[in-house]
Amino acid sequence: MENVKFSGHDTVALAKKYGTPLYVMSEDIIRDRIESVKKAFEEASCDYEINFAGKAFTNVAMCKIVASENIALDAVSVGEMLTAMAAGFPMERVCYHGNNKKSSELKFAVENGVGLIVVDSEDELKKLTQVTAELNKDVKIMFRISPGVEAHTHELIQTGIQDTKFGLPFEQAKDIVVRANQLPHISVVGIHCHIGSQIVDEVPFIAAADKMIGLYQAIRNEGVDLRAINLGGGFGIPYLQGDEYFDTLKYIPKLVQHVKTMCAEKQVPMPKLIVEPGRFLVCEAGATLYTVGTVKTIPGVRKYISVDGGMNDNPRPALYGAEYEAVICNGKATEDMEEVRVSGRACETDTLIDKAVLNHPEVGDILMVRNTGAYNYSMASRYNRFPIPAVVLLSGDCSGIMVERESYQELLSHDRVPDWLK
């Protein structure tokens, strides 16, 4: 039996070369997913922009991939902006996002030529007005709006409902946007919403678009030259076999046609449509490799297998019950399949996969968990003082380090001892 491959590479060989736990990312799959979104918009014949939501997976090499694809980057922190700068990413293609931005962070963005700032609140607008006056620099902004649209997904990843920390309340948005556009150095170019994650068809996006186009019309009628509507991200991917997913070529043209029809009916110009896929571009491009360390059978209860990672490198099952599938990578006959619980090393229950069907797992086996490219590395922690795993990038038949494995010396590097304890 051959070893399991991921993006054309022998997973056991990767584990042996780079160690485990190990994040593996496929550049080929990332580029394919970007192309699928581009192709859908181009077939729909509209002015569009793709912003990669960097929170899903950001490092210098990833920023270089995004830059080479000529798409924009959605950054939510100075750290993400600095990562883009280290990659030589064109800052005019960076959109600075997030709630509760500090004045110092807004100043950093303006000083470094970020192309667009998505303003999340009136308080943030006040901070930005002070920053632009101090620097005597003009900025382009969009306002994030809470459209009150409920996407049918997990409650912790719904972000467009009325009761949310994000964005301007819909009913207040028009007046705030109109006032903002009269401020010195501020140019409001569009409005933004994001309704949630893991959305599998166009229906929630159409509902959000209806509300946003109505607001777009009302604001334009007040003399504000809005030119763009950002409908956010949230395109769903299939974590498990048989899961529904967002088919870009099927659903994006439907969404675009609906927006065109709405704009024609309301006699407003068709805006540039912006989307912010993150998970959709990187999730299926990633896998995590582990080594099985222990196998324990509790008669009449279940079999446990423990791996050398867990909630430290993938907190999503613990955070909101995310489900994954796994496979034993070293070649084995598939007749001897059994249901086991895959557990991690953290001193918690730390269930990585509650019910995994695997072919006779044994100590020393290499286990691959699929679809870990989004919100795994980016949300990794040092709980129990386990170092952050390495990230390897695959491209064609090449493999190379994308992020070095954290050493124990690096883990300790920020520890200090106050004088009275010395």
**Tens of each residue's pLDDT in the chain, 422 residues:** 899 999 999 999 999 999 999 999 999 999 999 999 999 999 999 999 999 999 999 999 999 999 999 999 999 999 999 999 999 999 999 999 999 999 999 999 999 999 999 999 999 999 999 999 999 999 999 999 998 886 654 343 344 456 778 899 999 999 999 999 999 999 999 999 999 889 999 998 999 999 999 999 999 999 999 999 999 999 999 999 999 999 999 999 999 999 999 999 999 999 999 999 999 999 999 999 999 999 999 999 999 999 999 999 999 999 999 999 999 999 876 778 899 999 999 999 999 999 999 999 999 999 999 999 999 999 999 999 999 999 999 999 999 999 999 999 999 999 999 999 99
Using the Cα atoms of residue 38, residue 40, residue 46 and residue 50 in order, give the sign of their dihedral. Answer: negative
CA–CA dist 56, 52 (Å, integer) = 9
Q: Which two tokens stand for residue 38?
A: 């581009």
Output the pLDDT for position 160.
43
CATH code for the structural domain at 5-23+285-410: 2.40.37.10
Q: Is 24 left (phi over 0), alpha (psi -120 to 50) or beta?
A: beta
CA–CA dist 364, 164 (Å, integer) = 46
User: What's the whole-model pTM score?
Assistant: 0.94
- For the chain, the structural domain boundaries read 5-23+285-410, 45-281
Name the CATH architecture for the domain at 45-281: Alpha-Beta Barrel (3.20)
Please give the DSSP secondary-structure letter assigned to residue 75.
E
Active-site position among 63, 193, 263, 347: 347
Q: How many CA atoms lie within 13 A of 260 on its CB side?
A: 12
**Is 347 tagged catalytic?**
yes
